[in-house]
Amino acid sequence: KATLSTFLKRNRIKLKGTDVPLPMASWAELESRFGVAPWLRTNLDKWGWGVPTAIQKGAMPVLLANRDLLAGAPTGSGKTLAFLLPLLHHLRAPAKEGFRAVIVSPTRELAQQIHDQMRRLCEGRNFRICVLTKPADAGAMNADPSKRKKFDMLITTPLRLVHAVEKEEVDLGNVRHLVLDEADRLMEDGFLEQTDAILAACSHPELRKALFSATLPAGVEEMAKTFMVDECRVIVGTKDS
């Protein structure tokens, strides 16, 4: 017990919730504790992600255990990998079942950065990732609806996603994992109404939700409360907090 509290303090990690999975100390636990496939560890090392950051230590075990998560950690602290790796673990392999994971990001540029990290992390695997941020992006899918099924993951911006749902360009009925990234920035553009539309479209009963944010203002907390179920909170402080 003393060891755990020392570990949390040293990493500036705060945990809240019921039966929150304990943080991991190193990547070795991915395989030993969670049965994560060795190719993921290989790619982490290959791209220079040799040691987990604090938010990765705290958030990955929660997501690997398939719990809802509200995560807060400063900009540049490695939040992207913290949700990408558990997603790939749960998806296991390309399946041609349509979108099983959706990542919502506030801007086109951030969506592209997530896509870049995802391509590195799943290098050598044939996962199909759709980046939907511009009006033209759905063109390929519209031209041939049978192509929709080939995708495993969707990375998108909120307005573009809501539009695509309204136009029935995408089917989110098979989505099991929804990530709302940079939630504090998503809030700035009246995201609350868009979240409702996105959540309604993600109709699978086993949908798990994760919300990542640099800060956790009241609006983000309230939004989380409306749709999270028995969620875990993992907050990583800055140097001063």
User: Contact positions toward Mg ion, by CB under 5 A?
Assistant: 79
Q: How many CB atoms lie under 10 A from the CB of residue 51?
A: 9
From 5-13, 15-23, 72-80, 150-158, give the range in contact with ligand ADP by CB under 6 A. 72-80
Instruction: Name every residue whose Cβ is closer than 8 Å to that of residue 134 and which is 6 or more positions away in sequence.
Output: 108, 160
- Least separation in angstroms between residue 110's CB and ligand ADP is 8
- Do the Cβ atoms of 170 and 161 come closer than 8 Å? yes
Which of Mg ion, ligand ADP, none has residue 35 at its interface (CB below 5 to 8 Å by kind)? none
The reply on whether position 77 binds ligand ADP by CB under 6 A is yes
Q: Give the contact letters, 189-228, x = binds to ligand ADP (CB under 6 A), - = no.
A: ----------------------------------------
Cβ distance to ligand ADP smaller for residue 103 or 138: 103
Measured between alpha carbons, how far is 228 from 236 in angstroms, rounded to an integer?
Answer: 20
Exposed, middle or buried: residue 239 (CB in 10 Å: 0-12, 13-18, 19+)?
exposed
Measured between alpha carbons, how far is 219 from 180 in angstroms, rounded to an integer?
Answer: 14
- Least separation in angstroms between residue 239's CB and ligand ADP is 15
Subset of residues 95 to 124 that bind ligand ADP, contact rule: CB under 6 A? 117
